Structure 1
Amino acid sequence: MRWWLMLPRAVRAGYSSGNHKPCLNGTREGVLCDIEAWEAGKINELVYWLKGVAGCGKSTIAQTFAERSAAHGNLGASFFCSRDYPDRRNLHLIFPTLAYHLAYFSANFKTALVSIIRANPDVQHDALHIQLEKLLVRPFKQTGLSATIVVDALDECEDREPVSEFLSALAAHIDTIPAVKFFITGRPEDRIRSGFKLPSLRTKELPLHDVESAIVDSDIKSFVKTRLDEVAARRRQSISGQWPSDRDIATILKKTAGLFIIASVIVRFIDSPYASPQKRLKLIVDLPDSTIYEGKGKSGVDVVYHQILSGSFEDADENDPDFLGQLHLVVGSIVLALNPLSQSASDPIRILHKSFADFITDQQRCLDGRYLINALTHNSELGVRCLKLMKMKLMKNICRLPPYVMNDDVKDLPARRERYIGSALSIIKLVRDFLAQHLLSWLEVLSIEDIYYVAIYSLRDLVLWLNNSPAQDLLDLIDDCERFVLRSFDGIKQSAMHIYHSALSWAPTTSRTRILYEHELVHETKLLNAVGTTWDACIRIFPVGEKARAIVFSQKGPLIAARGSFWVKIFDTMTGANRATFHEDTLINSITFSPDDNFLATGISGGTLNVWDVQTGTLFRTLKSDTQKVYAVSFSPGGNMIAAGGSNGTIQIWNILSGGCDYKSHHHSAAVNSVCWLGDEQVVSGSSDGTVRIWNVQQTHCSSICARYPTRVTDLASSRGSILVTSADGTRKIYDSQSGDIIHTMSEDFTCCRLSVNGDKILVASKNSGFIWDLTSKTKVQSFGYNGDGAMFSPDGTYVASIYGKFLKIWKTQTGDEVQGPFTDLLNEEIDDIVCAPDGRLVAFEFKYCRWRVLDMTTSHSLFPFVDRIESVAFSLTFVAFLRVYFNGQFNTREVEIWNTHIPRLHRTIKVDNNVLNIALSLDDSRLVSLSSNCVKLWDLETNECLAHLDYNGYLPMNGRVSFASDGASVSVEHDGRPNRWHISPASHINRTRPFIRNNDDTKTKLGMVFVPIAEKQSNQDAPRQSYRCDKDGEWMLDQRSRRILWIPPDERPRESKMHRRMVIVETESGKKYAVIPPSS
């Protein structure tokens, strides 16, 4: 198996894909010679950064160098980024694509790569630094291979993750592969420049704008003259005399201001097949003189772009509002669209260069309002048109997928995606209609495209977009849709079809999303007592993989860190994506994020404090403490210092950048358990000696003792001059840091207590609930419910996280408690049998002594509460039939009562034999079949007449069952797992065509119908099947063929489960019981 082919990769990202042209022969030689000298030399600089402003020719130079390097046998792989292509702007595809190309470059590399992919088949989903280590570093180290790697236009990767993360990952491993050199180009933007500043990256930089202007002008002049001479040669019939003139070349050279992109744009404009080259050249050279790049509308490239726009539409009425509207729509869509607009991946409609997009969307540069594209207005227009298109095109099961199927199991999913989805898919009304009619189909597409996370961010952006809208009902609907997406995030991400098989089933009965799409719910698998009537406060549950000891939110809120004894894992709070994992050799006692979320510090029992880079997952700095164990760590508000407290009572403060210890104190007589900051100049410490001390960092002494306790101080928090102190006896007090006065005291048993960002509220959590206390009014202003351990609030107090087994739960503090389902008492009594209506609306349960209850699953009401003995229950689409037993002395009689389920009333009664055990109704409401100990009878529901009679060979046991086929044309009898089937045929037809079929009883031959045996084909169906069950992780309910028929949310997964009769009884870790009723086989 070609394992390396499993790697996802960007298409046409290599230098040989024809996306870029090389430099004209004889141009850029100085720069290229410098790059080639770097490649050939034995120097410490393993990274070459070619930087420069837009349009200075970086990509052309990268293309030329890649071609030359390949010709010398040095180029191992290349990746030319482009914001116009989703795969080529995706940071997570760079390393897999490079590894794929390197596998073709070196057979030894391929061999090493295959073994790594076989052991890590999901490596493409790992963080960037893990991808780099597995896909490139390991194979390079194993093979000792030397190679050059080219990455062009790194700045064009999307901003979902910082581009500096790519460089940070490279910096962490570059020293381990000294035979590999990286050539990288990009604009000198802040998000890239910060990455190249990492000292371990050891970068050689060449700013293109620092190359001597005379050299650049000479190269541009050669380029322009050569290209225009080619135009003249091709179009000699329309060009006379010397063209272009030396003056024309000199004028163009002056206008380019040293930028190749301007020269390229001018040449393309002149060479248009729709106009005279001479006329267009005259338009350019007649422009006012200009030499400054991006001159805010008055010179340089801005003037060139404006003149070209005007010249391109010289025959149109540029003052016509219809023309301008169409111009804005077309050009704006090309400029602002995230994806190219052509259906052909090899020939997209896209802008020539990003500088044009920058120009036409900047009102300070594009001074002619006729051409200016207002990004905000145009994005709104694009959004409206996208909604209209999706409203027309989206549908359930858009890719025609089989039921229950997992996305990864659909071999032709890319082809289906291309065929059925393609590339194209008052605002309030459009949004409301879209969510009410096409939400699930949209989620299908996102799941199939493996970008399901987009649903979360899109819905949140929608709320911001409609923030000032008076349509509160629409905002409530969006919130409900977001809850639906988050609740079943992991299940839908794996299988688009489980939107209908699972996600809707787990939505509360009053959820607006569920109500809107109840008709889409697949009722084959039913849940009993599993869901409440409203959403609870929990909005997201995601796996950690191990039991965490503590959790902490990042300062800005989008990340959450969970720590175990020797590890720390960082997750995205909404998507649950694992951003980084750190491992320590000794016990971790404390963790904290830096204010900018870029670093995380761990205090460990080895007496050290480690600072980790969150983006790359690598160790940034190790700080050695004077104590044996570090119990507490805290970053200063500015993020440049970090304080730590240890087991010997020491307080130390380090400078993060230099690594030097700026402050040290031993005033505590026992261990320091907690530290926090009051601004950038004061640190508060709480100790087992019972004191809370405030330290002045600048004056290097303890300025005051804020409080004394008879027991140890276990935790501290500060906000806006207030200090929250928790002691070992459970008492919590809030102090004014200036006066030392007690502001508030709380003595209840809480697991977590935090001050709000403004310092005016206390956020409190106990074992199963939480509330917010207003310090000004001294009142409880809000309550919320949750469960789990180790509660921790987000910085803004809007979320609380808790540890739930091997999962993390995120709760919303503005949401009420969950309302449990109406059937809780049902599972406390032994259930003997279950019968479901065909549409899933009604379910009948049998208890001891033949007592039955029929429940309406949509209204939670109990119907038909019969007292008399009921032997069997059957459903059709309209009716429910009860086989009732009447005792009369030593005898009993039996009759079947047919009730209308929509208007609960008796429809008909049929007297049957006294030994009837089981009954069934046909779906079309026309017939009843009864099974006794020795015969089967068919009844007409309109006339009460017996239509057919079959003597059954042998005596049927009490567990025999009879049923109709879905088309009503045949019946089957099953007992002890063995089915027998008969076709129902008119007696006249059978007697005429098959005279050998006879009945011994003359009365039976007079019936209108007969049962004709159906010979069963021998097949593998006779092989034993497994019963319905949960998989080993409890995430999926499996059927007899091991298909995943139901996804189970983490907090609903079984501590234990058992098959009872025809349902699976599940008991969760919290002690909740519910039932899963599988489809009828």
Structure 2
Amino acid sequence: DATCLPGTRQDVLKKIHGWVDDPSAEERVFYVTGMAGCGKSTIASTIFEQWKPLGSCAIYHYRRDEPSQHHRLVTALARQLANTGEAWLQEAIFESIRRNSDIEQKRLEDQFKMLLVNPLTGARGKPSTVLIVIDALDECHDTKYAEKFIELIHRHVSLLPTAVKFLVTSRPSDNLFRAFQSLAVARENLDSQQESLVTTDVKLLLEHKLTEIGKAHDLPRGWYDSNCVDVLARLSQGLFQWVSTAMIYCNEGSPKARLKTLLKSPSDFDGLDALYQQVLSTAFAATAKFRGVHALLLRTLGTLLAAPHSVSLDTLAYIYAEDKEIVANLTSLLAVPSSPVEPIRLMHASIGDFLTDLERCSETRWFVDLPYHHHSLALDCLRLMDRDLKYNICGLSDLTQSNYEIQHLVQKHVSQGLRYCARSWSHHLSAMGRGYGDAPPSTADVHVKFENFSQKQALQWLETMSLVGETQEAITMAKQAMRWVQVETFQPYLPRLWNDITRFVTEHFTAIAFGALHIYASALPTCPVETELWKRYNDDAMIRIFPGPRQQVWSPLLWTRSLQDWVSSVVLSPDGKTLASVSNDHIIRLWDAETGVLIGEPLTGHYDLVTCAVFSPDGKTLASGSRDGTVRLWNAETGSLIGEPLTGHPLWVLSVAFSPDSKSLASGCEDRTIRLWNAETGGLIAGPLRGHYSWVRYVIFSPDGKTLASGSDDATIRLWNAETGALMAEPLIGHSDRLSSVVFSPDGKTIVSGSNDKTIRLWNAETGAPIGEPLTGHDDQVTSVVISSDGKTLASGSYDYSVRLWNAETGALIGEPLTGHSFWVQCVVFSPDDKTLASASTDYTIRLWNVETGAPIGNPLTGHDQDVISLAFSLDGKTLASGSHDKTIRLWNVEMGALNTGPLLEYDSSTQCVAFSPDGKTLASGSYDGTIQLWNAETGALIVEPLRGHSGWARHVVFSPDGKTLASGSDDYTIRLWNAETGALMTEPLTGHSDQVSSVVFSPDGKTLASGSHDQTIRLWNAETGALIGEPLTGHSFWVKSVIFSPDGEILASGSHDNTTRLWNTKTGAPIGGLATGFDSEVTTVVFSPDGKALILEDVRSCDLNRAWSIEAVRGDTLSTAPSHKTGFPSSISVSYALSNEWVTYNDTQMAWLHLSTNEAEYGWRQTVRPFICGDKLAILDGGRLLWIVPTGKAPHRQSTL
């Protein structure tokens, strides 16, 4: 950016230099203000350049046309200080980044503290100054962000050494002026400078620029009239931006001709406006003969002014398919970089103000009608995305790679123009309109393209947003689209679809932000099946989840956060944007109510348990009460403590409440008293108010602020005059146990109370008389009640772990209880719009519920009600059978993920094992009662009567390769051979084992049967006669759980609870090679690879298929681990999890991210997971949930290829 011409702006530069140089200056901030074009940015750049060699210095220029950068103020300043500052500062910043790798995703206050305050504290005692310059802060599109930054300076300035100073510039702004009021600030208003000083500086700049232009065009000295400098200075009206623009204009064409044109400018126009009119007149005159070029020039200006993100030459060329030279005629107004990928910027923000104001820009030829241009750009974005968005646009195949690791591919496949369209379409849709000028593109055209985009490309758009690192922005855009379709004329499915997309991205944010393909591999497979999103995009799912406990619709639960201690209370701010939680660790936390992101640092100050918290009605203050006997007031936006603690209560403060006007505060105490406080000064208004005989648990003001109600452990409610503290009526008596909650209805006519007697009661607030009968339904103490703002709905929480909704007029229960908490519900509260209900529990969680959908919607798909304990594929891989503790067997269509047949039958005994016949037509199942059933796999009909004979559990069933014989192993120590068609017993029971038979298997030729037993032995049998072949195979020192033949029948493998696997020669019974060891627990499953060259073993404790052994390597010696790329079979299948992310890992590849609840992750979800293999596919079983996964080594593709 330009710096001041030597000899100009001396007065203001001298003041700023003096302030920076003065170590004793009380003011730590210098604030420069002035109207557009008066030279603020040039002064800021000059100070920065002059101080840069002298110490650590950083500058940030706000640009209105780069809104996407506006929240990167702190990170940009820190990056500069780290790159240019002294060594101690560089190291301090780098160390902070190392400790906080996700710093760019943190909130402003966290970034400010971690990247500026903490590192800059090291400047204490250092001789050099650290100067931070923020230019054009008023251009920040998020005014709250700008005000917050100033507030953070104020909050932390006392912690920073005096060598750290801030220089801020802006146009006059009431918001910023108010924000700076609480700070000691040195100020300079450029608009109030002496006119003579400014005029002198303007003339010096004009003479310098005119001389440079003369040299550039080989003009003689004195090529301009000496009087013209005075005229130009007068026309500039003291604005240096006018001088800069005018001189660029002169330099672009014939200097003499253009200077002559400038000098003829009317003097009755504003200086800049007249100049802009002149520049635009010249630019558009050059295109007058070319109507298309004229229109394109105007569309270019409209794009730059309507764009929510920066626009480069490449982006313009992408949108308009025209030569990039189109902007050449506008270089007087635009800063056009030499690189086609760098953003184009307006020379000054005032240019945009001029072009979009019809009163100032009287020439309609170049007036930018923003609603019209938004409409046009919305159409362009949808058209171009329709053309260029693709499924797996970067051709990725490795799901383990994060988006960060494949940015070289993103740069190649996602152009700047496509990025712009993907990030901007919703903004243009929301802002489009008919405007002032000609009719815009047909609304119908936009609607058609948007519907097509929604139905076919929404996930491709989300994929692109993930790739370019804008997953968070995608949530904002989806919400924006949802709001837009709600006010437009669309079919009802579209609002539902965009609501689904919003929930989809929010719920699976971690996986989607990690890698774009996890949209299809991790997020989409778990999408509720009755949503519009699933109905229209389920074919894109790379993983298929079988029905069972499959979710039908979105859960009412919006988010869950885990804390380290009990959450005793939650409360929402009046605007519904912030949620405060109180926990037993003495800490109050503020959360973003929509996303669950923690806001700022925890509020600390109480030195004992915090018992309660409440926002003031104006949302500015948070009050908290504690067992330390104090009440504290906090700034609800910044989290800073307001004043001193309110003291007076000798024991625990149990409740606090604000009056409706936010001016008074009431507190109830364990000492049986109530106190009234002035919320602004902290002074005591009245009290202690006495009357209760036990602890005062609840205090609340009536809506008009005239009455205070209190609820106590003495089971009564008392009403007090809120101004004088006088008792107003007799106690309200009716509950049989202590009160836990007391609230007024919105109209103040009714009081609602909850009690430990498990009931809720309604009272007339004027007379104290009970209204109707008590509301019953909870199975344990009612801990909290709250009423919606319209007075129609009551919500209650209870020790029965549930939340219930009631009709406040009739007392009837609404829908089913809201369940999800695993321990006592301590508190419930409605959001201001009544759409969200928050609940806090002693299970360490906070939960938010959708009030409208809290009741069950539709009928859930039927599935197993308990754990699935057995699973078998048909040999063609098309059907999957499952047996469960719920006493049912179910058949599933593998390709469709749908239930084929079942439940087949419900017994008094659970199914222990299942197996298909080789032709897939018959299914055998064994039960805990010892019976075996044969089923028609297509119809689910029982083929013959149950096969009876075993006196213990039927542990294992298996068909012979020809399908004619069925073998079963049992807890009665025997094996039985059955005719698979008739069910007749073929031989006498095969006896010999001295403990339960856990596994039986036929050899590939069907002639031999092998069995493994808890007696630690393996036995080989003649499959036709049932005769024992040879001696028992001994060697294991604990139960044998699995036996299997190699594909050629020459080797038998066995897995045991002694943590080993052994190989045996099937002809001789002799052991082969060494022992497969290295397991942390028992080996329960042994599987040969299809080529017979590798052995896959399952370690039950970790539930991992975590060993692959080379068979060729063990024929002579010990088993050695075989890398999977040599066998074509997975070397490992495992499930790993942390509280923040849970991945299904296949062959060391993160295949899918499963969105687990805290309880699932914490209480052993991993122990319920078991993998099963069929050919080249893998099924993972999680309790009653079955996952179907495409193996790695193949490029991700659509589900239809399964």
TM range (shorter): 0.7 to 0.9
Determine the structure 2 residue equivalent to 1:612: 634
Cα distance change, pair 757–863 in 1 and its aligned pair in 2 (3 A): closer
Determine the structure 1 residue equivalent to 2:556: 537
Determine the structure 1 residue equivalent to 2:140: 157
Contact map agreement 1:687 1:713 (CA 8 A) in 2: yes
Is residue 2:107 matched to residue 1:127?
Answer: yes
Unaligned runs of at least 5 residues, structure 1: 1-19, 291-297, 896-910, 919-930, 938-950, 965-969, 983-1014, 1068-1072
Contact map agreement 1:602 1:611 (CA 8 A) in 2: yes
Determine the structure 2 residue equivalent to 1:377: 372
Quick one: which amino acid aligns to residue 603 of structure 2? F
> 2-side partners of 1:851 and 1:588: how far apart?
50
Say which SS state the counterpart of residue 89 (structure 2) adopts. helix
Quick one: which amino acid aligns to residue 519 of structure 2? I
Determine the structure 1 residue equivalent to 2:303: 333
Contact map agreement 1:589 1:602 (CA 8 A) in 2: yes
> 1-side partners of 2:499 and 2:1169: how far apart?
37
Which deviations, in whole Å up to 9, do the C-alpha atoms of 1:460-502 show, x marking residues without a partner?
2112222333321211222222232233223323332221111
**Matched ranges for 1:405-416 at <5 A:** 405=400, 407=402, 410-411=404-405, 413-416=406-409
> 1-side partners of 2:966 and 2:382: how far apart?
69
Higher mean C-alpha displacement, 555-564 vs 34-43: 555-564
Determine the structure 2 residue equivalent to 1:631: 654
Determine the structure 1 residue equivalent to 2:152: 169
Determine the structure 2 residue equivalent to 1:548: 567
Contact map agreement 1:871 1:884 (CA 8 A) in 2: no
Cα distance change, pair 854–333 in 1 and its aligned pair in 2 (3 A): same
Contact map agreement 2:751 2:764 (CA 8 A) in 1: no
> 2-side partners of 1:614 and 1:590: how far apart?
15
**TM score, norm. by length of structure 1:** 0.78
> 1-side partners of 2:811 and 2:1168: how far apart?
50
Determine the structure 2 residue equivalent to 1:675: 699
Cα distance change, pair 1080–287 in 1 and its aligned pair in 2 (3 A): closer
Contact map agreement 1:833 1:846 (CA 8 A) in 2: no
> 2-side partners of 1:107 and 1:832: how far apart?
63
Cα distance change, pair 1030–874 in 1 and its aligned pair in 2 (3 A): farther
**Matched ranges for 1:839-850 at <5 A:** 842-845=879-882
Quick one: which amino acid aligns to residue 308 of structure 1? V
> 1-side partners of 2:377 and 2:158: how far apart?
47
**TM score, norm. by length of structure 2:** 0.71
Is residue 2:6 matched to residue 1:25?
Answer: yes
Quick one: which amino acid aligns to residue 775 of structure 2? S
Higher mean C-alpha displacement, 853-862 vs 224-233: 853-862
State the aligned residue count: 955
Is residue 2:311 matched to residue 1:285?
Answer: no
> 2-side partners of 1:312 and 1:28: how far apart?
32
Determine the structure 2 residue equivalent to 1:561: 580
Question: 2:669 aligned to 630, 636, 646, which one?
Answer: 646
Contact map agreement 2:960 2:966 (CA 8 A) in 1: no
> 1-side partners of 2:187 and 2:681: how far apart?
24
Determine the structure 2 residue equivalent to 1:16: none
Which deviations, in whole Å up to 9, do the C-alpha atoms of 1:29-53 show, x marking residues without a partner?
1111111111111121111121233
Contact map agreement 1:915 1:933 (CA 8 A) in 2: no
Determine the structure 2 residue equivalent to 1:990: none
- Give how far 1:63 is off: 0.6
Quick one: which amino acid aligns to residue 856 of structure 2? D
> 2-side partners of 1:655 and 1:225: how far apart?
64
Quick one: which amino acid aligns to residue 138 of structure 1? N
Is residue 2:41 matched to residue 1:56?
Answer: no
Contact map agreement 2:732 2:769 (CA 8 A) in 1: no
Which deviations, in whole Å up to 9, do the C-alpha atoms of 1:530-571 show, x marking residues without a partner?
422333323444555655222222211122222212222222
Say which SS state the counterpart of residue 268 (structure 1) adopts. helix
Is residue 2:847 matched to residue 1:809?
Answer: yes
Quick one: which amino acid aligns to residue 352 of structure 1? M
> 2-side partners of 1:281 and 1:56: how far apart?
22
> 1-side partners of 2:839 and 2:9: how far apart?
59
Which deviations, in whole Å up to 9, do the C-alpha atoms of 1:207-238 show, x marking residues without a partner?
2222223222222232223213322333355x
Is residue 2:334 matched to residue 1:308?
Answer: no
Determine the structure 2 residue equivalent to 1:225: 207
- Give how far 1:1060 is off: 4.2
Cα distance change, pair 1054–175 in 1 and its aligned pair in 2 (3 A): closer
Question: 1:592 aligned to 598, 606, 614, which one?
Answer: 614
Question: 2:893 aligned to 853, 856, 862, which one?
Answer: 856
- Give how far 1:1054 is off: 5.9
> 1-side partners of 2:977 and 2:680: how far apart?
95
Cα distance change, pair 682–61 in 1 and its aligned pair in 2 (3 A): farther
Say which SS state the counterpart of residue 864 (structure 2) adopts. helix
Determine the structure 2 residue equivalent to 1:12: none
Question: 1:831 aligned to 870, 885, 901, which one?
Answer: 870
Contact map agreement 1:744 1:775 (CA 8 A) in 2: no
Cα distance change, pair 632–382 in 1 and its aligned pair in 2 (3 A): farther
Which deviations, in whole Å up to 9, do the C-alpha atoms of 1:709-750 show, x marking residues without a partner?
366543333424345331434554555656767667652335
Q: Percent identity?
A: 23
Say which SS state the counterpart of residue 384 (structure 1) adopts. helix
Is residue 2:732 matched to residue 1:708?
Answer: yes
Higher mean C-alpha displacement, 169-178 vs 344-353: 344-353
Determine the structure 1 residue equivalent to 2:1014: none
Contact map agreement 1:588 1:603 (CA 8 A) in 2: yes
> 1-side partners of 2:816 and 2:671: how far apart?
40
Cα distance change, pair 887–289 in 1 and its aligned pair in 2 (3 A): closer
Contact map agreement 2:655 2:667 (CA 8 A) in 1: yes
- Give how far 1:189 is off: 2.7
> 2-side partners of 1:639 and 1:956: how far apart?
87
Determine the structure 2 residue equivalent to 1:991: none
Determine the structure 2 residue equivalent to 1:921: none
RMSD: 4.4
- Give how far 1:706 is off: 8.3
Contact map agreement 2:571 2:581 (CA 8 A) in 1: yes
Determine the structure 2 residue equivalent to 1:468: 487
- Give how far 1:707 is off: 5.6
Cα distance change, pair 735–265 in 1 and its aligned pair in 2 (3 A): farther
Question: 2:1154 aligned to 1009, 1026, 1048, which one?
Answer: 1048
Contact map agreement 2:775 2:811 (CA 8 A) in 1: no
Say which SS state the counterpart of residue 209 (structure 2) adopts. helix
Determine the structure 1 residue equivalent to 2:522: 502
Is residue 2:784 matched to residue 1:747?
Answer: no
Contact map agreement 1:99 1:135 (CA 8 A) in 2: no
Which deviations, in whole Å up to 9, do the C-alpha atoms of 1:422-456 show, x marking residues without a partner?
32222232222212222222222323333312222
Contact map agreement 1:444 1:497 (CA 8 A) in 2: yes
> 1-side partners of 2:67 and 2:384: how far apart?
21
> 1-side partners of 2:526 and 2:595: how far apart?
19
Is residue 2:285 matched to residue 1:265?
Answer: no
Is residue 2:507 matched to residue 1:487?
Answer: yes
Contact map agreement 1:548 1:803 (CA 8 A) in 2: yes
Contact map agreement 2:649 2:669 (CA 8 A) in 1: yes
Contact map agreement 2:1093 2:1110 (CA 8 A) in 1: yes
Say which SS state the counterpart of residue 529 (structure 1) adopts. coil
Say which SS state the counterpart of residue 1139 (structure 2) adopts. coil
Cα distance change, pair 254–761 in 1 and its aligned pair in 2 (3 A): farther
Which deviations, in whole Å up to 9, do the C-alpha atoms of 1:62-111 show, x marking residues without a partner?
1111122224x1343333333444674224x5246426524642222233
Contact map agreement 2:71 2:145 (CA 8 A) in 1: no
Higher mean C-alpha displacement, 745-754 vs 735-744: 735-744
> 1-side partners of 2:634 and 2:291: how far apart?
57
> 1-side partners of 2:197 and 2:677: how far apart?
49
Say which SS state the counterpart of residue 832 (structure 2) adopts. coil
Say which SS state the counterpart of residue 141 (structure 1) adopts. helix
Contact map agreement 2:89 2:120 (CA 8 A) in 1: yes
Contact map agreement 2:881 2:914 (CA 8 A) in 1: no
Determine the structure 2 residue equivalent to 1:787: 820
Determine the structure 1 residue equivalent to 2:391: 396
Contact map agreement 2:740 2:754 (CA 8 A) in 1: yes
